[in-house]
Chain A
Amino acid sequence: MSAVEGSAAGSGAAALVATDVTKRFGSVEALRGLSVTVREGEIYGLLGPNGSGKTTFIRCVAGLVRPDAGSLALWGGEPREAVAAGRVGYMTQAAALYVELSVEENLGFFAALEGVDGVRQRIEEVLRTVDLLDRRRSVVGTLSGGMRQRVSLAAALLHDPRLLLLDEPTVGVDPTLRRDFWDHFRGLATRGVTILVSSHVMDEAGRCDRLGLIRDGRVLAEGSAKELVARAGTADLESAFLTLSEGATA
C-alpha cells in the first residue's frame, strides 16, 4: 500500500472491508464485484459518474441494502450491528429531514434515536460545526438547499459515529462552507473517525486520503489523488479519471 497524504490517516486497523460485492435491482446490475478496504481514521473517496454505484455501495455499508453476493464487514461484523451500536453516521444525498419541524426538533429526534446524552449541549456543538446555531429555531422547510445539507450533516454527526458515510455532502454548499466542511472532516479523521465519501467534484476528491474510481459498479483504480494522476500521466485528476476509465473500458 502506498504512503498517504496527511497525518495519521489510514494507520489503523480496517474499519470497512468489502469483497466482491454485487447487487442487482431487477435488470440493473448496480454493483459488479466491488472491493474496497478502508482503515480507521482514513478518508476514502468514491469517485465516479452518476449511476456508477456509489450510492448503492454506501447504502450497503449503512445496512440498508443487503448485497446479493460478496462480503461486507464493519469492524469484522455485520453492517447492521455497527449501525445498531450507534457507530455509523449517514448523511444521505438529498437531505432527509422533517420539513415541518425546526432544526432543533429534527436534531433532537435523531439524537433520541441514537441515544445521545446531553442532547441540548450536543445539538449546540454540531450546529456550531455547521455554522447554523443562529437558525436553530427555524423550520427546516424555510431553509435553503445548502442549509438543509448542513442540518443533515449535523444530524449525522450528533452521536459521534466512528464511521461517517457522506453521500455527496457538499452539493449545493457554497465554496467557503465547503472548505470548512472539509477542514472539519479532516479534523474528525485525525481523531480516528473513518470517512467514506462519494463525490464527483474533483477538487474535493483531492482532499481524500485515498480514492476509488468507480464505474459500472466496479473499482477501476485506487490510490491517492497524486498516485492516480501519476499513473494516468495527466495534468490533473479530472483528466486522470477520464484516461483511467477509458483505459479500463477499452
Chain B
Amino acid sequence: MNPRRVRAVAKRIAEQFRRDRRSLGLLIGAPILVMSLVGALWGSSTAQVSRIVVATDRAPAPQLVAALRRSPALAVTETTVDEAMRRLRDATVDAVISTRVGFVSTEIVVVMEGSDPFRSGTTLQSIQRAVLAAVSVPPIPGAPPAGPPPVVVEYLHGGPDHTLLDLLAPLLIGVFAFFFTFLLSAVSFLRERTSGTLERLMATPLRRAELVVGYLAGFSVFALIQAVVIIAFTVLVLNVKYSGSLATIFLIEAMLVIVSVSLGLFISAFARTELQAVQFIPVVLVPQIFLSGLLVPVDQLPDVLRPFAAIMPLTYSNEALRGVMVRGLEIGDPVIVRDLLVLAAFGVVTIAGAIASIRREVA
C-alpha cells in the first residue's frame, strides 16, 4: 500500500465534499434536525393526556372516580353509557369506564377505543394507576386497605386477539407508498433534469402541467400495485386482520401518492446529484414518521410539534387508513372525507410547486 496514493484518494474526497456544500450541510444538519425532533418528542416529560368517560348510570365507586380525576394523565368527563359508547365509536374519547355486577363482586369495566396501540397503552396504564391509587386509600379511615376490585378490559377495535402488526400495518402501507414514490420520482425527475431530456421535452409541444400529470399517473399505477402486494402479503402471509373497503384504501393511497410524487418532482429542483436527492429523505420523510401518528398519537404530541404534524400529508393518510382499515369507517364518514380533502389540498399545492419548479429552469 502506497501512502501517497491513499492520501491522494482521501484528499480528493475531502475536496469533492468542499465543493458539494449541500451534502456537507445535510451530513451535519440532518442528524441535528432528527435529534431535535426526537428530543422534543421523547426528551421532555410532557403529560400525554387520555380522554376517558365515566358512565353516570353505571358509575364506579366515588373514590375511584376521584382518583381518576386526580390523575394528570386523564381528562375525565361523565355521561350515560349509551352516549359514552357513541363517543367511543367516533374515537373522540379513548376509554369508557363503567361497572357491571358480576357473580362475586361488582367489576369495573374499561372499554378501550383500541385502534391506536400506543394510545391504548398509555390510557390503560393511567387508568390502572388510578385504580390502584383508589384502593390504597381505605374507605373508612383506619380500616385495612381493600384488595383491588376486578377490572375487565374490553376493546372496541383491536384487543388481545389483535397483534401490534394488525394495528400498524395499515399505516405502514401509506408510509411505504410515500417513501418509495417520493424517492423514485425525485431521482427520476432529477435524471430528467441532468441528462438534458427535460430540456429536450421543453422543446416539444409538451406543456409543463402535462409532464407533471403524466408523472403522477405513471407513478400512481405502480404505487397501487405496491399497495395490492403489501395488503395481499400482510393478509395472506402475516395474517393481518383488516376491515374497510379496498376501493377506499386505494383512493387514499392514490391521493397520498399524488402528493409524494409531485413533492419529489419539486424537491428534485434543489438537488444537483442523486446523492443529494437521497439526502432529502431525513428532511422530508423522517419527521413525518415521527410526527404523523405512527409512533405517538398526534393529539398527544408536545405543543411545539403539533403544528408540524398538521402540515404533514402522512398525518392525514395515517388517520384515514387507520379509520378505514382498523375502525372500519366508510368513505362517507366525516373523518375520511376531511382527510381526503386535506390530501387533495396538499396535492394542489405540491403540483403547483412541481410545475413552478420546471419554470425555474426553463424560461
Which residue numbers of A lie inside 8 Å of B, CB to CB?
A: 59, 62-66, 83-86, 88, 90, 92, 94, 96-99, 110, 113-115, 155, 165
Taking CB as reference atom, which chain A residue is nearest B363? A66
Most buried by A among B199, B204, B363: B204
* B197 and A64 form a contact (CB under 8 A): no
* A83 and B204 form a contact (CB under 8 A): yes
Which residue numbers of B lie inside 8 Å of A, CB to CB?
A: 195-197, 199-206, 362-363
Residue from B195, B202, B204 in contact with A110 in the complex, judged by beta carbons closer than 8 Å: B204
- Interface of B, secondary structure class, is loop
Residues on A with C-beta less than 8 A from B202 are 63-64
Residues on B with C-beta less than 8 A from A62 are 203
Most buried by B among A85, A86, A92: A92
Chosen A-B contacts, 8 in total, with CB atoms closer than 8 Å, are A63-B202, A64-B199, A65-B363, A83-B203, A96-B195, A98-B197, A155-B200, A165-B203
* A64 and B203 form a contact (CB under 8 A): yes
Residues on A with C-beta less than 8 A from B196 are 92, 94, 96
* B205 and A113 form a contact (CB under 8 A): yes
How far apart sit A222 and B205, CA to CA, in the bound complex (Å)?
A: 32
Knowing A64-B363, A65-B363, A66-B363 touch, does A114 contact B205 (C-beta < 8 A)?
yes
Residues on B with C-beta less than 8 A from A96 are 195-197, 199-200
B330 to chain A, nearest CB (A): 40
Knowing A64-B362, A65-B363, A66-B363 touch, does A86 contact B197 (C-beta < 8 A)?
no
Taking CB as reference atom, which chain A residue is nearest B207? A84
Taking CB as reference atom, which chain B residue is nearest A67? B363
List 7 tightest A-B contacts by C-beta distance, closest first: A96-B200, A66-B363, A96-B196, A90-B203, A62-B203, A113-B204, A96-B197
Knowing A64-B199, A96-B195, A98-B197 touch, does A85 contact B362 (C-beta < 8 A)?
no
How far apart sit A113 and B198, CA to CA, in the bound complex (Å)?
A: 13
Residues on A with C-beta less than 8 A from B195 are 96, 99
Taking CB as reference atom, which chain A residue is nearest B196? A96
A67 to chain B, nearest CB (A): 9
A198 to chain B, nearest CB (A): 15
Taking CB as reference atom, which chain B residue is nearest A90? B203
A184 to chain B, nearest CB (A): 20
Residues on B with C-beta less than 8 A from A113 are 201, 204-206
How far apart sit A236 and B201, CA to CA, in the bound complex (Å)?
A: 39
Taking CB as reference atom, which chain B residue is nearest A93? B196
Most buried by A among B195, B202, B205, B362: B205
* B203 and A86 form a contact (CB under 8 A): no
* A63 and B203 form a contact (CB under 8 A): yes
Taking CB as reference atom, which chain A residue is nearest B195? A96
* B205 and A97 form a contact (CB under 8 A): no
A117 to chain B, nearest CB (A): 14
Residues on B with C-beta less than 8 A from A90 are 200, 203
Residues on A with C-beta less than 8 A from B362 are 64-65
* B205 and A92 form a contact (CB under 8 A): no
How far apart sit A66 and B199, CA to CA, in the bound complex (Å)?
A: 14
Residues on B with C-beta less than 8 A from A99 are 195
How far apart sit A84 and B202, CA to CA, in the bound complex (Å)?
A: 10
How far apart sit A62 and B203, CA to CA, in the bound complex (Å)?
A: 6
How far apart sit A148 and B164, CA to CA, in the bound complex (Å)?
A: 54
How far apart sit A92 and B195, CA to CA, in the bound complex (Å)?
A: 11
Residues on A with C-beta less than 8 A from B203 are 62-64, 83, 88, 90, 165
* A86 and B205 form a contact (CB under 8 A): yes
Taking CB as reference atom, which chain A residue is nearest B198? A96
A141 to chain B, nearest CB (A): 11
Residues on B with C-beta less than 8 A from A114 are 204-205
Most buried by B among A65, A96, A155, A165: A96
Knowing A64-B362, A64-B363, A66-B363 touch, does A92 contact B200 (C-beta < 8 A)?
yes
How far apart sit A90 and B197, CA to CA, in the bound complex (Å)?
A: 12
* B199 and A92 form a contact (CB under 8 A): yes
Residues on A with C-beta less than 8 A from B205 are 83-86, 113-115
Instruction: Using A84-B205, A92-B196, A97-B197 as known contacts, list a sample of 8 further A-B pairs with CB atoms less than 8 Å apart, ordered by residue number in A.
Output: A63-B202, A64-B202, A64-B203, A64-B363, A83-B203, A83-B204, A90-B200, A96-B197
How far apart sit A199 and B195, CA to CA, in the bound complex (Å)?
A: 21
How far apart sit A86 and B202, CA to CA, in the bound complex (Å)?
A: 12
Residues on A with C-beta less than 8 A from B201 are 113
Residues on B with C-beta less than 8 A from A64 are 199, 202-203, 362-363
Residues on B with C-beta less than 8 A from A65 are 362-363
How far apart sit A219 and B200, CA to CA, in the bound complex (Å)?
A: 26
Taking CB as reference atom, which chain B residue is nearest A66? B363
B2 to chain A, nearest CB (A): 35
